[in-house]
Amino acid sequence: MILKTTFILGGAASGKSTYAEHLVVATGKPRVYLATSQAYDAEMEDKISRHQTSRGPDWETVECPFELAKALAKIRADQVALVDCATMWLSNHLLKDHDLEAESGLLLRAIVACKGQVVIVSNEVGMGVVPDNALARKFRNVQGKLNQQISEISETAILVVAGLPMALKGELP
């Protein structure tokens, strides 16, 4: 059983989203998928379509590449929301040159205030080499800070590597 807020980290293609979806389905509650990706090319459109098909019709999907805090405010107490993912949401704001500190603050407050359960997926970006350009280094730093802040307000934090979940905070559901 998941608690109020569960944070799931992992590298790209680590199995974190699949694991998060299984946790949400296991609650038996009405589920809402808060999608933060944007399709800028055919490959991304295909990926999004495959994800929607694999989830099936029992999910309500809300597209929120920027307005994630507002979407979380609409989650009812009887629902569970899956945010997939904080990394894309932050990238969207970074590329639009938005105030990342202000946007992150809004998101963190919305997670805490959310009436339903929330599962948040994010990429762990701090385990690779130091990026070779300023934008990539800025992203790595702000993503690392956001991950730390989400971990702090979450009851459970899980790292997924090669499809295997490991509890970082709390216990595995």
Residue 97: what pLDDT?
Answer: 96
Catalytic residue among 22, 51, 93, 98: 51
The pLDDT value recorded for residue 57 is: 87
- Of the candidates 113, 109, 115, 117, the residue with the CA atom closest to the CA atom of residue 150: 109
- Closest by CA to 144, choosing from 159, 122, 165, is 122
Grouping H, G, I as helix, E, B as strand and the rest as coil, residue 172 is coil
Instruction: Specify the number of domains making up the chain.
Output: 1
Contact indicator for 82, 55 with CB cutoff of 8 Å: no
3-class secondary-structure state, position 145: helix
pLDDT tens-digit profile of 23-81?
Answer: 999 999 999 999 999 888 888 888 888 888 888 889 999 999 999 999 999 999 999 99
Residues 92-111: pLDDT tens digits?
999 999 999 999 999 999 99
What's the domain range around 119?
5-12+21-169
Full-model pTM: 0.95
51 is catalytic: yes
User: Which of 40-44, 102-106, 114-118, 146-150 is predicted least confidently?
Assistant: 40-44
CATH of the domain at 126: 3.40.50.300
